[in-house]
Structure 1
Amino acid sequence: MASPKTPISPTSPRKAKKDNSFLEYITLGRKKKNKEADDLDKEMRDHIEEIESGVRCYVPDLNELEEGEERLVVEKGQQSPSVQELIKVLIDWINDELVSYRIIVRNLQEDLYDGQVLQKLVEKLGNIRLEFPEVLQSETGQKQKLRIVLEECNRILGMDQHYESPLWTVEKIHGRDIIAILHLLTALVRHYRPPIKLPENVRIEGHLYKKVNGELRRDINPIAEQLTMEKEDTTAHYERDAFDTLFDHAPEKLEVVKKSLIVFVNKHMTKVNIPVQSIEEDFHDGVVLVMLMGLLGGYFVPLHNFFLTPQTYEEKVANVTLAYKLMVDAGLHKPNTRPEDIVKKDMKSTMRVLFSLINRFKSVS
């Protein structure tokens, strides 16, 4: 997704006078607002508010059950903190994968049940294109598309293409069964091993409902489902690079490399009177990274596009995520490190990102 960019005029005050104040820089940004930037800002803020307000639980309409049909239901308010954490991790992962489609998932049950988002996710992860017969957006059409998507998921995960896993059936996913949705998504994470960390040993409890003689019956004792293991190893495996060698075998050279990176950053950040001093402390909130990308690319990132004074962990992650998007827009590969690694002040991750910028923009004055 291309981010709003406002080219810097050769005759702009910032070009004519190196010591422009930061206030003038802000004023310039405010004059460059446009509708696309406003829309992006609203989407980002809505997403943050959704996360901070907690994960909502949708309880499906059990009256839709057929005679003899059973469904395991997690009732409102019964999600444990670990389950809520797992849901948040998965939502962030999906949104990161689908950012180029301008898709924002806020609730797994309400946004994934019809197969549309799952289709885009599977296509993105597998770098494939799913072909569908022309179907109407009726319940029957939704289930028809969902069946094709789940068959592709089963193929990817090494199951028979036409074998319907009992953990995630068409009826369960379309019925907004949160347990089935979580089983499917965690299976995809284990297969593709994206740079995220699933919370470990997550169990979810639900009550079994069954329709008997037209009436709903609920088991008294809850049933527990294991969603993640005690030792989840789902993070991506990267090849060791020069930074691993530097940290492990040449720590005496670490300060030299850090100083070189800071010199490069300050060559540009001093143009807006915001010099940096520390790799560990000055990049974790994403503000410098966002502004640095604008300076390197010759455009101004409107201030309402990111959090200028981020207060929460989520706001900092949003800033770093935006910086990553700007890097991709500039022709760089998406960083292997997670935005969360930068926010947590992982020095090796931060240095990797800055080194990639040096390689790409070393000729920029």
Structure 2
Amino acid sequence: MELLAESGDSQMIFNIETQGESRKFLQPSADNDPKLQELKMFLIDWINDELKQEHIIVQSLEEDLFDGLILHHLLQKIGNLTLEVEEITLSTINQKRKLGVILQEVSRCLQLEGSQLKWSVALIHSKDLLATLHLLIALAQHFHPDLPLPANVSIEVVVVEPTKTGMKTGKAIECFTGSREEDAAPKKDAFDQLFEMNPDRINDVKQAIVNFVNKQLVNLSLTVNDLDSQFADGVILLLLIGQVEGYFIPLSTFFLCPGSTEDRLHNVILALDLLMDGGILTNPADAAEIVNRDLKTTLRVLYSLFLKHKNMLKSS
């Protein structure tokens, strides 16, 4: 369905392809918004910096990302992921199929679904700037939460909603980023409070988890003494998951003797994926923090295993 809407002195033609679907559109005046342009240039520079070793250069978010090629390379780079998709896709059908695989992986990594998603295969492939911006911002905030995205970027958009008698248009404010403090500050949990309010109890928690871990690993003749360092390569973490969950993780899927940071990241990402898929870890953890021996993140992940095992013992 095609709709003609007035916006000041200009006119916009909207295509509503799905019956009952509400859509948002940028107004032509958005091209003159300095904050929006700053955000676009920041994201372009970020992508080009991430992919410079692959000699990929992005000039336009709408024109260069719609077919999935650059999104594929970007997700592999920032997420250290391998996606089984074609490198080059020329037909619309294959491009949308590739985008579907990519966006499904994004949803899995970000733990988003349904109404939480502000993008879709159809929107990205149709070069929808709003959807493309939301997707890139979500990826940046998840994989690089310290990235200094331009703060307080919002813009007025046209909202088109279907009614029983036709279409209704209105205006709304679309927010892309909040203040730096809002974007950078994650919600605090029990471990944040422990480290801030009760640092004297950290050793007690560490010892309780060490005892739990060693009890689980006794059949493998392994002993853990230092949580900070012995879980940094992901090997013991993967073996521990297998023991607690009661399944074997094929040795071919991880590096038993990791020789590089990339190998260690691969192991830890695999472990975190298993914990997320098993419903043990309820909030995503940063694999790089574990590789870098961040005690709080390591404790948080191990505690999720400890908590499940403890609850299982109580119920048995």
Q: TM-score range by the shorter chain?
A: 0.5 to 0.7
- Evaluate the alpha carbon distance shift between residue 107 and residue 240 of structure 1 in structure 2; reply closer, same or farther with a 3 A threshold: farther
Is 1:256 the counterpart of 2:204? The answer is: yes
**1:253 is aligned with what amino acid?**
R
Question: C-alpha displacement at 1:93, in angstroms?
Answer: 4.5
Q: Secondary structure at the match of 1:280?
A: helix
Q: Does 1:325 align with 2:300?
A: no
Does 1:347 find its partner at 2:295? yes
Q: In the aligned structure 1, how far is the partner of 2:103 from the partner of 2:127?
A: 8
Offset of 1:297 from its aligned partner?
A: 1.4
Aligned residues of 2:79 and 2:143 also touching (Cα < 8 A): no
Counterpart CA distance in 2 for 1:351 and 1:246 is 11
Query: Could you tell me how far 1:155 is from its partner in structure 2?
Result: 4.6
Structure 2 gaps, min length 5: 1-51, 61-70, 150-178
- Residue 189 (structure 1) aligned with residue 139 (structure 2): yes
Alignment of 1:158-177 (within 5 A): none
Tell me the TM-score normalized by structure 1: 0.48
Decide whether aligned partners of structure 1 residues 87 and 147 sit closer, same or farther in structure 2, where only a CA change above 3 A counts: closer
Residue-pair matches, total:
215
Deviations 1:58-103 (A, max 9, x none): 689xxxxxxxxxx88xxxxxxxxxxxxx99774244665xx8xxx3
**Offset at residue 305 of structure 1 (A):** 1.7
**Equivalent pair of 2:86/2:98 in contact (CA under 8 Å):** no
Give the deviation of 1:146 after TM superposition.
7.0
1:149 aligns with 2:124: yes
- Aligned partner of 2:41 in structure 1 is none
Shift of 1:117: 3.5
For residue 308 of structure 2, what is the amino acid of its counterpart? Answer: R
Q: Relative to structure 1, is the Cα distance of residues 184 and 252 closer, same or farther in structure 2, using a 3 angstrom cutoff?
A: closer
Is contact 2:230-2:236 (8 Å) kept?
yes
CA distance in 2, matches of 1:255, 1:315: 30
- What is residue 219 of structure 1 aligned with on the other side? none
Q: What is the Cα-based RMSD across aligned positions, in Å?
A: 4.4
- Using the TM superposition, give the Cα deviation of residue 321 of structure 1 relative to its aligned residue in structure 2, in angstroms: 1.1
Distance in 2 between residues matched to 1:57 and 1:196, nearest whole Å: 21
- Greater relative CO, 1 or 2 (CA 8 Å, sep 6+): 1
Q: CA distance change for structure 1 residues 272 and 300 in 2, over 3 Å: closer, same or farther?
A: same
Q: Which SS does the other structure have where 1:307 is aligned?
A: coil
- What is aligned with 2:14? none
| 1:127 and 2:127 are equivalent in the alignment | no
CA separation of 1:119 and 1:317: change in aligned 2, threshold 3 A: same
1:285 has 2:214 as partner: no
Q: What's the offset of the Cα at 1:147?
A: 6.2
For residues 119 and 258 of structure 1, what CA distance do their matches in structure 2 show? 42
2:227/2:298 contact within 8 Å kept: yes
Q: d(CA) in 2 for partners of 1:334 and 1:106?
A: 32
Query: Given the two structures, how large is their TM-score scaled by the length of structure 2?
Result: 0.54
Gaps of 5+ in 1: 1-53, 61-70, 73-85, 130-144, 158-182, 202-230
Equivalent positions of 1:73-112 (< 5 A) are 90-93=75-78, 103-104=83-84
**What is the CA-CA distance between 1:324 and the residue it aligns to?**
1.5
Q: Structure 1 residues 109 and 199 mapped into 2: Cα distance closer, same or farther (>3 Å)?
A: farther
Structure 1 CA distance, aligned partners of 2:202 and 2:213? 17
Deviation, structure 1 residue 332: 2.0
Q: Which residue of 2 aligns with 1:141?
A: none
Partner of 1:337: 285
The whole-number CA distance in structure 1 between the counterparts of 2:88 and 2:194 is: 41
| Partner residue in 2 for 1:208 | none
Instruction: Report the AA paired with residue 264 of structure 1.
Output: F
Kindly, what percent of the aligned residue pairs are identical? Answer: 27
| Offset from partner CA, 1:112-147 (integer Å, 9 cap, x none) | 993433334445546249xxxxxxxxxxxxxxx976
How many Å separate the matches in 1 of 2:89 and 2:203? 49
Residues 232 and 87 of structure 1: is their aligned pair in 2 closer, same or farther, counting only changes over 3 Å? farther
Give 1:344 deviation, angstroms: 0.8
Q: For 1:232 and 1:115, how far apart are their aligned partners in 2?
A: 34
Instruction: Indicate the structure with greater helix content.
Output: 2
Q: CA deviation at 1:270?
A: 1.9
- Pair 1:154–1:117, CA change in 2 (3 A): same
- Summarize the alignment of residues 240-279 of structure 1 with structure 2, pairs less than 5 Å apart: 240-279=188-227
Paired with 2:72 and 2:148, the residues of 1 have a C-alpha distance of 13
Aligned to 1:312: 260
What residue identity is the alignment partner of 2:227? I
Aligned equivalents of 1:108 and 1:339: distance in 2? 30
